[in-house]
Amino acid sequence: MRRYFDTAVLLKIYVHEENSDNAIALIRSVLPPLPFSHLHRLEMTNAIYLKAGRKEITSTQARTALSLLRSDLEAGFMVPPDYDLAGSFHYAEELAERYAAKTLARSLDILHVAMALGVGCTEFVSFDRRQRTLAKGLGLKVLPRMTV
């Protein structure tokens, strides 16, 4: 597992959003399984229910998205990486102390970067500018290539 996908990127394969086509292409460009942490599971579930609550998608679309997610997990398309969850939080806290004021990255964005580094990923996929800045500053190759 060389490439780590931020939750917002993974969400785009289950719920159509801006950049969904780009996200799908990036995901298809790697062989499964993709790393899928406890944080991904919580954020994906929450994001889908939030979209339904905000009326961005219907309840039927939410159930379908969650069903597809569960199917992909059962099929091994995404799997939990071998990582130390408590260690990831500790490392994220260290990163926050060193970089939050500079990058303005949010705590969960920092935690994703810490997890990616902790499981040995060398590439990080995100559309979030602050998260991308942190990941790049820590030596990860950041995808997709974006122009400002």
Residue entry with tokens 């939080």: 89
pTM of the model: 0.92
Q: How far apart are CA 32 and CA 132, in angstroms?
A: 23
pLDDT of residue 146: 75
In a domain, 2, yes or no: no
Q: Is the pLDDT confidence value at 127 over 80?
A: yes
In a domain, 89, yes or no: yes
Range of the domain at 37: 7-25+32-80
The pair phi, psi for residue 30, each rounded to 5°, is: -125, 155
Question: Tell me: the pLDDT tens digits for 6-18?
Answer: 999 999 999 999 9
Both 21 and 73 in one domain: the answer is: yes
